[in-house]
Amino acid sequence: MNIVGKVNLEVPFQFKEVDIDLSEDLARRYVGEIPTIFINGKKAFKYKVDEAEFRKQVRKEIIKAGISKLYSKKEHFS
């Protein structure tokens, strides 16, 4: 099991794996940068993924998303 799958078992999140070989544009853009990991649209890792750092960044994004939901609900009911 890869690091993304392992962390996903501990901290559930949605992810999408993209095979860059299916797209000439992506293959050109990311040649030599495998793996490249984006978290919420921002490049977070390339070449090597540190499991502890990946877990930390995923948790941070989950917390930020939860806080954003709370604020949007608060504004909706104000």
Tell whether the model's pLDDT for residue 74 goes beyond 60.
no
How many separate domains does the chain show? 1
The pLDDT of residue 22: 95
Please state, in angstroms and rounded to a whole number, the distance separating the CA atoms of residues 15 and 75.
29
Q: Residue 70: is its pLDDT beyond 90?
A: no
pLDDT in tens, 11-38: 999 999 999 999 999 999 999 999 999 9
User: Average pLDDT, whole number, for the chain?
Assistant: 89
pLDDT band (50, 70, 90) for residue 68? confident
pTM: 0.76
Contact 31, 10 (CB under 8 A): no
Question: Sign (positive/negative) of CA torsion 44, 50, 55, 57?
Answer: negative
Domain range holding 59? 3-77
